Amino acid sequence: MRDDYDIAIIGSGPGGYVAAIRAAQKGAKVALIEKGRLGGTCLNRGCIPTKALVRDAEVYRD
């Protein structure tokens, strides 16, 4: 099986998934390559979940 793409984006972190969405909006056939969960570290384990936990802790503390 062979698929042809206009663009291949390696990494689905904050830059990769935005680039993939924008390219698709412009009509490109996009391959998004990620070794882990889509969204990368920041979306799944880093920035966003951490900020949510910090906010929850602040609410609990107050």
Structure tokens at 29: 């056939």
Please give the pLDDT value at position 45.
67
pLDDT digits (tens, 9 = 90+) for 17-62: 889 999 999 999 999 998 877 666 666 666 666 667 777 788 888 7
